[in-house]
Structures are given as C-alpha cells and as structure tokens.
Structure 1
Amino acid sequence: MKKVTGIGGIFFKCDDAQGMNDWYAKNLGIATSKYGTTFEWADAEDPSKKGSTTWSTFPKDSKYFDPSTQPFMINYRVENLVEMVEELKKEGVTIVDEIADYDYGKFIHIIDPEGNMIELWEPKD
C-alpha cells in the first residue's frame, strides 16, 4: 500500500497572519488571499493527473492545530486513508479525531512522537 504520496499543505501560525500573507506576496511573489494560496501541479507518474499543495497562515491563537502546541502543521496527501488509519491504530499512533469526508477529500489528524500535528488527506481527484 502506498502511504504518503506528497505534501498537501503547509500551515503555520503567525502573530499577524495577514501581514505575513502580504510580506510573502510582496517579497516572494506568492499571490495570497486570507486563506493563503494553492499551488497546482501535475503528477510525476501520470501527468494527466493534477494535484495541489496549499500554503496558509493562521492566527497565533488558532485552535486548529490543537492538541499540538507547535506553531505549524503539515498536511500529507495519502492513498486509502481508511486502510492507513487502521494500520496507524495497530502501531499505537495517536489519532486525534475521526475521518471527516468532504467534497474535496477525506481528512484525519494524528500526532507524531514529538507532539506535531499531522493532517492526512486523501484527495478526491
């Protein structure tokens, strides 16, 4: 079973999320909205398949990364999230929530051994 297939997103907390968006837009040319930006790309193994990676700032007091106290979270793209979660449970990995299913994919959050929040995403391509 393939596990992680790529980076789905990079999320980090900031004292001034909008100010950071503005700085990245001005200095690095990243066109941002209040939600950050999305980079689109073609799959290396099958260029007809498209994917995306999200880059987003969050307010410093955001609870979205809880229970982690780290100021960042990485979203990994995965295949077959249900099967992967079963394997993670067998390995004793801390599962934060239940699988959530949206129009754009399935999500679940886990914690790594150093307390970092990880978001797993099975996109609906």
Structure 2
Amino acid sequence: MKKRVTGIGGIFFKSTNPDATKDWYKNHLGLNTDSYGCTFWWQNENGEKCSTQWSPFKADTQYFAPSEKEFMINYRVEDLKGLLKVLAEEGVTVVGEMEEYEYGKFGWILDPDGNKIELWEPIDSKLT
C-alpha cells in the first residue's frame, strides 16, 4: 500500500468572528488571508508544489460534526479510496461518503477521542 499520510493539508478551527480572526492574523502575523483563510505553499520531497490551508470557521459550523471539538485537522494522503477501505477494515469509523472535486478527493474519519479528521488526496495543480 502507498503511504497513508503525506503531510498536513489544513488546520481548521471554530471562531466567533472568522473575518476578524483572519484580519488579526493578517495584520499581526502577516498571513496572506483571503475569504477561506490562508494557503501556505511549499514543495514536497519530489519538488512538486503543494499547499496547506489554514481556515477559521464560524463557531456554529456543522462541518466538524459529528465531532464536538473546536478544530479539525486535514491530512494529505495518497490513494484515498484505498485508504478509506483499509481504515474501515481496521475498525476505524468512516464518516459519510468520499467526495470528489477538481482539486482532490475528501473523506472523513473519527479518531479514538471523537475528533473528526479530514483526509484529502489533493490535486495541487488545480489550486494555483
């Protein structure tokens, strides 16, 4: 099987005022924020351009459900479809169905503490 996790795809957290939070990070830490948050660009070990997303969400978002936590980590993975199958066979709780977009595939699982984890098989070239 291919690697499972290849890096951090995103850090998502709840905020009482996402726009003010993005402005604060822009003004005080220099993050180049947009309507989604901030995209960090980097190169992997093969020299390919990759991204990691940082995004505050509204405090009442249901995107992290069924987790009740204030955050969700997105991990970059290879072969999401195969990985979700293996994880289910290993007894890991898979949440919902895999979704596919032009910039990649997404799936969700729960860790033992009930944290929802987003798994992303990216197509970074579609993000630039």
The reply to whether TM is greater than 0.5 is yes
Identity %: 54
Q: Which residue of 1 aligns with 2:15?
A: 14
Q: Deviations over 1:81-120 (max 9, x none)?
A: 1111111011111111111111001100111110111000
Please list every run of 5 or more consecutive structure 2 residues that lacks an aligned counterpart in the other structure: none
How many Å separate the matches in 2 of 1:61 and 1:98?
A: 22
| Inter-partner Cα distance in structure 2 for 1:82 and 1:33 | 30
TM-score, normalized by length of structure 1?
Answer: 0.95
State the TM-score, normalizing by the size of structure 2: 0.93
Aligned to 1:89: 88
Is 1:57 aligned with 2:63? no
* Runs ≥4 residues deviating over 6 A: none
Output the aligned Cα RMSD: 0.8
Secondary structure at the residue paired with 2:14? strand
CA distance in 2, matches of 1:64, 1:58: 9
Deviation at 1:124, TM superposition (A): 2.1
Tell me which amino acid in the other structure corresponds to 1:46.
Answer: N
Q: Residues 18-33 of structure 1 correspond to what in structure 2 (within 5 A)? A: 18-33=19-34
- Which residue of the partner structure matches residue 121 of structure 1? 120
Structure 2 counterparts to residues 34-49 of structure 1, below 5 A: 34-43=35-44, 45-47=45-47, 49=48
Q: Tell me how far apart the structure 1 counterparts of residues 78 and 121 of structure 2 sit (CA, whole Å).
A: 6
User: What's the counterpart of residue 4 of structure 1?
Assistant: 5
